[in-house]
Amino acid sequence: MLHSRLPRGGLMTGLLIVASCFLPADSDAQSPNPFIHVDQFGYIPKALKVAVVSNPQVGFNNNLSYTPPGFPEMLLQDAMTGQPVYSFWIDSWQNGYVHAPSGDQGWWVDFSDQDQPGEFYLDDGQGNRSAEFRISTDPYQEVMQAAGRAFYYNRCGFEKKPPYADPRWSDNLDFQQEAQCRSISDPMNQSLWKDLRGGWYDAGDYNKYVTFAHRAVHDLLWAWEENPQAFSDEWNIPESNNSFPDLLDELKWELDWLLKMIEPDGSVHIKMGSANYSENVLSPPSLNQDPRYYGPVCTSSTIAMASMLAHAAVVYRQIEGWEGYGSLLGIKAQACFNQVLPAFNGNNLETDCDNGSIVAGDADWNETTQWNAAITAAVHLYDLTGEIAYHDFFLDHYADAEPLGGFWGPYYMELNGALLHYTTLPDADATASNAILGSFSAAVSNNWNDFYGYTDAELYQAGMPDWSYHWGSNLPMASYGTLNLLAAHYAVNPSSTAQYNQRAGDHVHYFHGVNPLGMVMLSNMVEIGGDFGVNQIYHTWFADGTDWDHSLDSPYGPPPGYVTGGPNKDFSVTTISPPSGQPPMKSYLDFNTGWPESSWEITEPAIYSQAGYIRLLARFVTGDDGVPIRQPDHDNPAYRASPNPASTTVSFSSPTRHPGVLLDVLGQQHLTIPERGPPILMYPMCPPECTWSIFRMPIWSFPSTDKV
Residue 69 sits in a domain whose CATH number is 2.60.40.10
Backbone angles phi, psi at 583, to 5 degrees: -55, 150
In a shared domain, residues 93 and 228:
no
Q: What is the mean pLDDT of residues 11-18?
A: 29
Handedness of CA 305, 310, 315, 319 (dihedral sign): positive
Q: Number of structural domains, the chain?
A: 3
Strands 182-183 and 293-294: parallel
Is residue 410 situated within a structural domain? no
Instruction: Tell me the average pLDDT across 5-24.
Output: 30
Structure confidence at residue 463 as a pLDDT band (50, 70, 90): confident
User: Do 162 and 130 sit in the same domain of this protein?
Assistant: no
Q: What is the 3-state secondary structure (H, E, C) of 612-636?
A: HHHHHHHCCCCCCCCCCCCCCCCCC
Pair (163, 131) in one structural domain: no
631 within a domain of the structure (yes/no): no
Q: What is the pLDDT of residue 670?
A: 55
Same domain, 259 and 345: yes
In a domain, 42, yes or no: yes
Residue 63 resides in a domain = yes
- Asked if pLDDT for residue 21 goes beyond 70, the answer is no
pLDDT of residue 173: 98
Residues 175 and 318 in one domain: yes
Q: Are residues 87 and 200 in the same domain?
A: no
CATH number, domain with residue 315: 1.50.10.10
CB atoms within 10 A of CB 445: 13
Domain-terminating residue out of 135, 163, 198: 135
Provide mean pLDDT across the span 15-39: 55
Are 571 and 601 contacting, i.e. CB atoms less than 8 angstroms apart?
yes
pLDDT of residue 704: 35
- Please tell me what DSSP assigns to residue 30: P
- Whether residue 516 contacts residue 98, with contact meaning beta carbons closer than 8 Å, is answered with no
Does residue 6 register a pLDDT over 60? no
pLDDT of 72? 81
Instruction: Determine whether 497 is exposed, middle or buried from the number of CB atoms within 10 Å of its CB (0-12, 13-18, 19+).
Output: middle
In a domain, 111, yes or no: yes
DSSP 329-363: HHHHHHHHHHHHHHHHHTT---S----SSS-SS--
Chain centroid to CA 353: 32
Q: What's the pLDDT at 52? A: 97
The mean pLDDT value of the chain amounts to 87
Does 249 lie in the same domain as 205? Answer: yes
* Residue whose C-alpha is closest to residue 369's, from 334, 413, 435: 413
Let me know if 587 is exposed, middle or buried by CB neighbors in 10 A (0-12, 13-18, 19+): buried
Domain closes at, from 365, 397, 416: 365
> Do 157 and 93 belong to one domain?
no
- The whole-number average pLDDT for the span 357-373 is 96
Residues 121 and 156 in one domain: no
- Antiparallel, parallel or unpaired: β 9-11 and 84-92: antiparallel
Q: What percent of the chain has pLDDT over 90?
A: 81
Q: Which of 73, 105, 135 is the last residue of a domain?
A: 135
| Contact assessment for residue 567 and residue 573, using Cβ atoms and an 8 Å cutoff | no
Average pLDDT for residues 225-246, to the nearest whole number? 95
Q: What is the pLDDT of residue 182?
A: 98
Whether 66 is in a domain gets the answer yes
3-state secondary structure of 43: strand
106 within domain boundaries: yes
Determine the Cα–Cα distance for residues 183 and 195; give it in Å rounded to an integer: 11
Q: Domain span at residue 664?
A: 640-701
Lowest average pLDDT, out of 234-238, 583-587, 681-685, goes to 681-685
Q: Which residues are CB-contacts of 476 (< 8 A; sequence separation ≥ 6)?
A: 410, 411, 464, 468
- Residue 666: predicted pLDDT: 42
Report the pLDDT value the prediction gives residue 622, as an integer from 0 to 100.
Answer: 80
> Does 668 map to a domain?
yes
Reported as a single tens digit per residue, the pLDDT across 483-530 is: 999 999 999 999 999 999 999 999 999 999 999 999 999 999 999 999
Q: Are 538 and 503 in contact (CB under 8 A)?
A: no
* Nearest Cα to Cα of residue 377 among 398, 360, 356, 358: 398
Q: Are residues 258 and 112 in the same domain?
A: no
C-alpha torsion sign, points 134, 140, 141, 145: positive
Same domain, 22 and 104: yes
- The beta-carbon contacts of 423-431 under 8 Å, at least 24 apart in sequence, are 423/490, 425/382, 425/383, 427/386, 427/391, 429/391, 429/395
Same domain, 166 and 77: no
Q: Is pLDDT of 14 > 60?
A: no
